[in-house]
């Protein structure tokens, strides 16, 4: 117990949430990667790869939560590097699922957008904490330039990531109490742009679409399947049919229906063999199939508890930078998790967002662990949470080392009277 208290410092609740998410990740990814395991000579290769990333991320959490949060503005240096990588990714990146989202350097594949998200959160938190040096107009302009340019570069290959990142950044600006008039104008402009974009997707004819980038056709297909899927999923006799267009959503629904209240238990799911992205985009459907509605609600509550706890940490922070930083990290993790869950239950179109710390992945797993390390560091050094034992030890040391003051009267009472008696 003493070793654990020395090793795991900071907010204990965040540590518990982190451990539960890692445990669920190992169990469910091991179950959901059955199709990949059968294609490998070594059946253990997929889960060993994922466990290695989780272990590396765990080491990062241990390192980061021992670093005072005042050093985290250094992550802003990732922003120009990420912008540069995003610029070259469409030309030299790896094509996967009709999108160039990956770069490969020295044999290591990674997503530049993940680093861009981390850098953007730190960038906004840093600017919002400098109200004494910059005016609100300057802060608003710098955020639009830095984060806006990053989101524009992410947008062509990953619309959902760009939309989610700017949404979280907008929430941070709202929490940071930037002028509501400016935020209102920005929200109106973005809403109008989104409506125009959806109208173009819905009504652009096929003859014109073929001359546009391939991603436009992909977005158009996802939107049509989401809005018109209920009409096109049945034949003339009213019988439901699974087609190439509704394949993923249909098998996700089957997985959720099979789960029931307590699920089929880990390793007994069937839809993992049918869902192409059962271990990433649709892992929440597999969780419900194998752990039931109880397991699905438990995972949802873990992320809700994370958001609530992050809010409590932010309230205890005395300085502005750690306050905004921990809120940004928590919001990004939870919003991405909710997006993944919404896709699995068919509330929103398919987006391709992994569930942080649970879905199988390399870059996303490591960056998610960095978010948790930052949150724990802020809880420890910014909010002074989880340091009670250290404070008690210091008080005991001070109490034991300080000797009580002794008066001259007490000394005279202790010294025996050695003078001879007179007769």
How do beta strands 108-110 and 94-96 pair?
unpaired
Residues paired with residue 309 on neighbouring β-strands, in sequence order: none
Q: Which residues are CB-contacts of 179 (< 8 A; sequence separation ≥ 6)?
A: 136, 140
Please tell me whether residue 107 adopts helix, strand or coil conformation: coil
Considering the domain boundaries, does residue 164 fall inside one?
no
Distance CA 275, CA 310 (A): 34
| Predicted local confidence at residue 229, as pLDDT | 57
Helix 363-377 / helix 112-128 crossing angle, nearest 10 deg: 20
Element (H, E) at 323: helix 320-344
Mean pLDDT by 10 residues, the chain (423 residues): 72 94 92 77 81 93 92 92 89 72 80 91 94 91 92 86 92 92 92 86 70 65 65 62 75 88 86 81 90 94 96 93 95 94 85 87 90 95 74 53 51 50 44
Position 188 in a domain: no
305 and 11 Cβ atoms separated by less than 8 Å: no
pTM for the structure as a whole: 0.85
Strand, coil or helix: 422: coil
Count how many domains the chain has: 1
Q: Please name the residue that has the structure tokens 């802020």.
A: 378
Mention every residue, 6+ apart, whose C-beta is less than 8 A from residue 288: 255, 256, 259, 263, 295, 296, 344
Residue 410 resides in a domain: no
149 part of a folded domain: no
pLDDT (0 to 100) of residue 371: 96
Domain-located, residue 221: no
pLDDT at site 140 = 94
As a whole number of Å, the end-to-end CA separation of the chain is 71
Q: Cα–Cα distance between 279 and 281 in angstroms, integer?
A: 7
Q: Find how far residue 104's CA is from the centre of its chain.
A: 23
pLDDT of residue 36: 76
Rg (CA), the chain: 27
- 258: its two tokens: 């099979």
The Cα 63–Cα 85 span in angstroms is: 26
Counting DSSP H helices and E strands in the chain, the numbers are: 17, 3
- The reported pLDDT for the residue numbered 156 is 83
Q: Which helix (H) or strand (E) holds 109?
A: strand 108-110
Extract the tokens encoding 369. Answer: 């662990």
Q: Is 96 helix (H, G, I), strand (E, B) or coil?
A: strand
- Predicted local confidence at residue 407, as pLDDT: 52
Is residue 46 domain-resident? yes
Q: Measured between alpha carbons, how far is 221 from 377 in angstroms, rounded to an integer?
A: 43
- The DSSP annotation for 171-223 comes to HHHHHTT--HHHHHHHHHHHHHHHHHHHHHHHH--HHHHTTS-HHHHHHHHHH
User: What is the per-residue pLDDT for 413?
Assistant: 55
Residue 102 included in any domain: no
Closest by CA position to 90, among listed 81, 78, 79, 102: 102
φ/ψ region of 402 (left if φ > 0, alpha if ψ in -120 to 50, else beta) reads: beta
Crossing angle between the packed helical segments 283-316 and 320-344, to the nearest 10 degrees: 160
Task: Report DSSP state, residue 271.
Answer: G
Separation of alpha carbons 153 and 156, rounded Å = 7
Q: Is residue 80 one of the residues assigned to a domain?
A: no
Domain that holds residue 251: 14-65+241-384
């Amino acid at each position: 117990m003493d070793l654990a208290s020395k090793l795991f410092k900071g907010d204990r609740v965040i540590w518990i949430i982190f451990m539960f998410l890692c445990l669920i990740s190992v169990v469910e990814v091991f179950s959901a990667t059955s199709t990949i395991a059968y294609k490998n000579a070594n059946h253990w290769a997929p889960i060993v790869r994922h466990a290695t990333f989780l272990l590396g991320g765990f080491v990062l959490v241990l390192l980061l939560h021992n670093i005072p949060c005042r050093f985290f503005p250094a992550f802003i240096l990732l922003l120009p590097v990420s912008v540069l990588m995003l610029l070259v990714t469409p030309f030299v990146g790896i094509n996967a699922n009709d999108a160039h989202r990956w770069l490969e350097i020295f044999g290591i594949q990674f997503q530049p957008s993940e680093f861009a998200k981390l850098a953007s959160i730190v960038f906004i938190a840093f600017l919002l904490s400098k109200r004494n040096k910059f005016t609100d107009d300057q802060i608003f302009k710098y955020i639009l330039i830095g984060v806006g340019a990053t989101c524009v570069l992410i947008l062509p290959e990953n619309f959902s990531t760009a939309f989610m990142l700017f949404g979280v950044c907008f929430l941070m600006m709202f929490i940071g109490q930037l002028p509501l008039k400016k935020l209102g104008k920005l929200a109106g402009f973005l809403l109008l742009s989104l409506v125009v974009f959806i109208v173009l997707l819905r009504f652009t004819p096929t003859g014109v679409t073929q001359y546009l980038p391939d991603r436009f056709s992909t977005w158009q297909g996802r939107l049509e399947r989401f809005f018109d899927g209920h009409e096109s999923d049945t034949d003339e006799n009213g019988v439901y049919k699974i087609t190439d267009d509704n394949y993923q959503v249909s098998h996700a629904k089957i997985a959720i229906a099979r789960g029931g209240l307590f699920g089929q238990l880990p390793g007994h799911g069937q839809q993992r063999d049918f869902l192409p992205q059962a271990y990433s985009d649709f892992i929440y459907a597999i969780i419900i199939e194998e752990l039931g509605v109880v397991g699905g609600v438990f995972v949802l509550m873990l992320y809700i508890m994370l958001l609530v706890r992050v809010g409590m940490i932010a309230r205890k922070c005395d300085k502005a930078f750690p306050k905004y930083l921990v809120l940004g990290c928590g919001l990004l993790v939870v919003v991405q998790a909710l997006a993944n869950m919404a896709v699995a239950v068919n509330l929103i179109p398919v987006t391709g967002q992994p569930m942080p710390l649970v879905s199988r992945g390399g870059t996303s797993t490591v960056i998610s662990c960095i978010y948790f390390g930052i949150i724990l560091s802020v809880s420890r050094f910014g909010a002074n949470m989880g340091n009670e034992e250290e404070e008690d030890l210091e008080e005991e040391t001070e109490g034991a080392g300080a000797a009580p003051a002794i008066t001259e009267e007490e000394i005279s009472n202790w010294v025996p009277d050695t003078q001879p008696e007179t007769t």
